A and B are shown apart, each in its own frame.
Chain A
Amino acid sequence: MSEITTLERRERPFDPMPKPTSPSEEGGGPRRPETGSPDKDNLLKRMRKVDPKQAERYRQRTGE
């Protein structure tokens, strides 16, 4: 019926969250990315491509 194949999901040992690859300043938690500034060559280029009128044209019906 659907396009999705019937691969089985493998069971894995209980591991609620990924362990940090290296100790963070807080001593635990997931890997924290470096976020000093956006990559101006890529992300800002992507932002500049956004049509300034896009939200003005965007209309939806009320949902739940």
Chain B
Amino acid sequence: MRLFGIETEYGITREDQEVVDPVVESMELVRAHLTDAFEKTWDYSGEDPHEDARGFRVSGLQQDKEEDEFVKLDGHRPFSFHEMKSDLVLPNGARFYNDHTHPEYSTPECRTLRDLIAHDRAGERILQRAATRRNRALRGPHVQLYKNNTDFHGHSYGCHDNYLLPRSIAFSSLTAGLLPFLVSRQLIAGAGKVGVEAQETGFRPGLFQLSQRADFMETELSVDTMHNRPILNTRDEPHADHTKYRRLHLIIGDANMCEYATALKVGTTRVVLELIARGAVPTLELDNPVTAVKEIARDPDLKAVVRRKAGGVLSGLDIQEAYWRAAQKTLSGQDEETDWILREWADTLRLLTGDRSRLVGRLDWVTKLWLLETFVREERLSWDDPWLASLDLEYHNIDPTRGLFLGLETEGKTTRITNEAEIEAAISAGPSDTRGGIRGLCIRRFPDQVKSIQWERVQFTGWLSPKVLDMNDLFDPDAVKALAQVLEAAASPADALKAWSQRKEQWQ
């Protein structure tokens, strides 16, 4: 069972205003996507971030107090909660909305890395098109969007990678198997950052780090996501049949611009999860994972070592190589995608110890460092020059006429996983083999009859009693394709649900 997705909170600013209102700007950006009036359809009843995978429910999150303060602060505004969130489900099955004052794009669920990368890139294009429309209304290129994770003043926002897992895998196995891997994953998936900061406190320039998020990791395990951020988030919100599934919700990751880095980030994590499921993960318990994340992040020479609980030390590369060896031994030859991951993972680790310049355009931190080193040399700057943080920010600008990464991509200096046709296709429709594709199909086929929608279900209007398409256990790709055929052929949601019910009875 393979299913994953990425949620990305984008940074947003208005360059024509001294003080920017992120609530209004995020809301207006999402609304700029629409041609018609906003209609409330997202169903929040499936969301409960207070359930903890360790087997208990927390009464409150650390961020609840801040959220309450924001509600008070934003309470005077002339719009409702739903209007402020402006939650949209797009024809490709993605979710696009204003989350915590950041425009957020959640890809539809994907089964393959190639689909996932196409949908992650589709998100960039959809947001940039919305910004273009918004800027047309503002009569200038004032709104700018950043696919990054920090404002360089101690405010971080996330890029979360999610994986569907069988509930039979104990959460304690995930903790033991994942922590060392996640501590060191930044070697291949870090987006790079100029300077050092901490939660809502100042910024110190001068140092280049592998990761944008490392500074904000404060504990090993926690259900919180905005404060006291954990290396491994324990939120138990599967968005699927609770008795059968877990959703691993990782918040430690950076938002990647490099397609290759996104593919390795999710691909290697998926591989490690399979090792955990098979009991084949290396035993590498670290003495202090939170300190280790920061120590590894702050050493772009990759020489930093971290302590093992059993004694001795390991570098980030040592940890990654141990995981790769276990994966190569256990999973090699399993399928084409796994072999691609294993091959590219090994190649990347080898190049990190050798000719790192060959990872430019593949790994974000290497690419960003290479750009900055070139600029420092050309302009004769010192590493604590504030210009470098601005260049760091602009690396992540998703406006193709401004963004530094996108400029590099235009020059053909990045490694592509997708092509333009695949990205355009991902803007229009979801994967053909996941419920994300079904969600999008419902929106396209019956746009006026969707009463409410969320990850697990679609509720249609038009009857005295509402009719629901339940997708909380719809993960078999053949079943997904059969349902898609039913939806395509049906004249109405009622016909589709009836035909689908009959089809399922035949199978039983």
- How distant is the Cα of A38 from the Cα of B371 in the complex, in angstroms? 7
A25–B425 CA distance with the chains assembled, in angstroms? 32
With A2-B33, A64-B9 as contacts: A7 and B425 at CB distance below 8 Å: yes
Q: Which residues of B contact A11 (CB under 8 A)?
A: 432
Contacting residues, chain A, for B157 (C-beta < 8 A): 60, 62-64
Q: Are the CB atoms of B404 and A51 closer together than 8 Å?
A: no
Q: How far is the CA of A48 from the CA of B70 in the complex (A)?
A: 38
- Which B residues lie within 8 Å of A34 (CB)? 413
A50 touching B394 by the CB < 8 A rule?
A: yes
Interface residues of A, dominant DSSP: loop
Contact indicator per residue, chain B 423-448, by CB within 8 Å of chain A (1) or not (0)? 00111111110000100000110010
Give every chain B residue within 8 A of A44 (Cβ-Cβ). 374-375, 378
Once the chains bind, are A55 and B337 in contact (CB under 8 Å)? no
Instruction: Check B100–A62 contact: CB distance below 8 A.
Output: yes
Q: A7-B429, A43-B404, A43-B407 are known contacts. Are A58 and B386 too (CB-CB below 8 A)? A: no
On whether the beta carbons of A58 and B393 are closer than 8 Å, the reply is: yes
Would you give 20 A-B contacts (Cβ < 8 Å), ordered by A?
Answer: A9-B437, A15-B114, A16-B336, A17-B337, A33-B415, A38-B413, A50-B387, A50-B390, A52-B385, A52-B390, A56-B152, A58-B146, A60-B22, A60-B157, A61-B22, A62-B66, A62-B226, A62-B227, A63-B99, A63-B157
Please determine whether B414 and A33 come into contact, CB atoms closer than 8 angstroms. Answer: yes
Contact: B407 with A46, CB < 8 Å?
yes
Given A17-B113, A61-B22, A54-B393 contact (CB < 8 Å): yes
Q: Which residues of A contact B34 (CB under 8 A)?
A: 1-3
Tell me, in angstroms, the Cα distance from A64 to B253 when the chains sit together. Answer: 11
Q: Which of B99, B386, B432 contacts A55 (CB 8 A)?
A: B386
- Bitwise interface map of B from 24 to 40 toward A, beta carbon under 8 Å scored 1, else 0: 00000000011110010
Does B11 contact A60, Cβ atoms closer than 8 Å?
yes
B residues contacting the other copy or chain, number (CB 8 A): 94
Are A55 and B389 neighbours in the complex by a CB distance under 8 Å? yes
Interface residues of A in 1-33 (CB under 8 A from B): 1-11, 14-18, 26, 28-33
CB < 8 Å neighbour of A7 from B113, B153, B371, B428: B428
- Which chain B residues border A53 with CB–CB below 8 Å? 386, 390
Docked-complex contact B371 and A14, CB < 8 angstroms: no
List chain B residues, Cβ under 8 A from A18: 416-417, 419
Please choose the segment from B312-320, B355-363, B461-469, B492-500 that sits at the chain A interface, where 4 or more of its residues have CB less than 8 A away: B355-363
User: Which residues of B approach A to under 8 Å, CB–CB?
Assistant: 9, 11-13, 20, 22, 33-36, 39, 66, 70, 88, 90-92, 99-102, 112-114, 126, 129, 146, 151-153, 155-158, 160, 199-200, 225-227, 251, 260, 263, 335-337, 340, 343-344, 347, 357-358, 360-362, 370-371, 374-375, 378-379, 385-387, 389-394, 402, 404, 407-408, 411-417, 419, 425-432, 437, 443-444, 447
- The answer to whether A55 touches B66 (Cβ under 8 A) is no
Chain A residues near B419 (CB, 8 Å)?
18
Residue in B36, B101, B199, B360 whose CB lies within 8 Å of A1: B36
Decide: A30 and B415 in contact? CB cutoff 8 A: yes
Q: Check A35/B358 contact, CB under 8 A, given A1-B39, A9-B430, A46-B407.
A: yes
C-alpha gap A57/B419 in the complex (Å): 35
Residues of chain B within 8 A (CB-CB) of A57 are: 13
Enumerate chain B residues within 8 angstroms of A31, measured Cβ to Cβ: 415-416
Q: Cβ of B160: which chain A residues have Cβ within 8 Å of it?
A: 64
Contact B343 A28 (CB under 8 A): yes
A8 contact set on B, CB distance < 8 A: 428-429
Provide the residues of chain B in CB contact with A37, threshold 8 Å.
374
For B488, the closest partner residue in chain A by CB is A8
Output the least CB separation between A42 and chain B (Å).
7
Across the interface, name the chain A residue whose C-beta is closest to B149: A63
User: CB distance A59 to B155 under 8 Å?
Assistant: yes
A30 touches B416 (CB 8 A): yes
Say how far A61's CB is from chain B's closest CB, in angstroms. 4
B102 contacts which of A15, A38, A55, A63 (Cβ < 8 Å)?
A63
Residue contact B374 to A38, C-beta cutoff 8 Å:
yes
Q: Which residues of A contact B378 (CB under 8 A)?
A: 40, 44
Q: Do the beta carbons of A58 and B151 come within 8 Å of each other?
A: yes
Q: How far is the CB of A3 from chain B (nearest CB, A)?
A: 5
Known A42-B411, A50-B404; further 6 A-B contacts with Cβ < 8 A: A6-B428, A17-B340, A29-B344, A35-B361, A55-B393, A59-B13
Chain A residues with CB under 8 Å of B386's CB are: 52-53, 55-56
